[in-house]
Amino acid sequence: MSLDGYIADEDGSIDFLNLHDSELNGTSQSDFEDFYAEVDTVVMGSKTYQQVVTELSPEDYPYSNVISYVLTSQSIKVQEENVHLVNEPIDALVKRLREAPGQSIWIVGGSSVVTPLIAANLIDEYILTTIPVILGRGIPLFQVQEKWLELVPIQTSLKNGYIQSVYHKGTLSEGIERD
């Protein structure tokens, strides 16, 4: 996301994500591979899915080796074998997936996907990569709602100025007065 919390500009463009891709170092790729090795399920909205298959990776679906669930109420064309279209509330889907055997579920998407999961307390870990650009306006990752998280004391600073922070759903705010 941008420094000011946007995942796309007002028109839905994510061009700012590619500003420094050529400068990514081996460590960040290795960290992603380690993370992705623990994922067996990807859940995303239809807008994110369409952006992945038309803009980000039109030649090679990046999640082909895991099961993908795409939330949609419409019929969309899917060519990938492991992609399932679902028309159910995301919190119900994630609860169902969590009860099934498997590894990690990766939520890929914006506020319409994330907000109900935050409200239902279904996100255990937030891995946020902040890109050093201020968009000023656009599509926010989070809608307004209060949620206190616990920062994992390791932040990764990548060569290109990106910062990766990890948070766990926390209990720090319980019984603590805030200023």
Q: How far apart are CA 25 and CA 82, in angstroms?
A: 30
**Residue partners of 99: CB distance under 8 A and separation at least 6:** none
Q: At what angle do helices 90-99 and 111-119 cross, to 10 degrees?
A: 60
Regions of the chain short of the pLDDT cut 50: 22-27, 172-179
Report the Cα 155 to chain-centroid distance in Å: 17
Pick among 3.30.70.360, 3.30.230.30, 3.40.430.10, 3.90.480.20: CATH of 6-169: 3.40.430.10
Domain ranges for the chain, please list them: 6-169
| Residue pLDDT, tens place only, 97-115 | 999 998 899 999 888 899 9
Quick one: pLDDT at residue 29?
58
Q: E-assigned strands of the chain?
A: 6-8, 39-45, 67-71, 83-86, 104-108, 125-130, 139-140, 149-151, 156-157, 163-169
φ, ψ for residue 42 (rounded to 5)? -120, 135
Q: Check residue 55 and give its pLDDT.
A: 85
Helices (H), 52-140: 90-99, 111-119
Q: List CB contacts of 135: < 8 A, sequence separation 6 or more.
A: 2, 4, 6, 9, 16
pLDDT computed for residue 15 by the predictor: 84
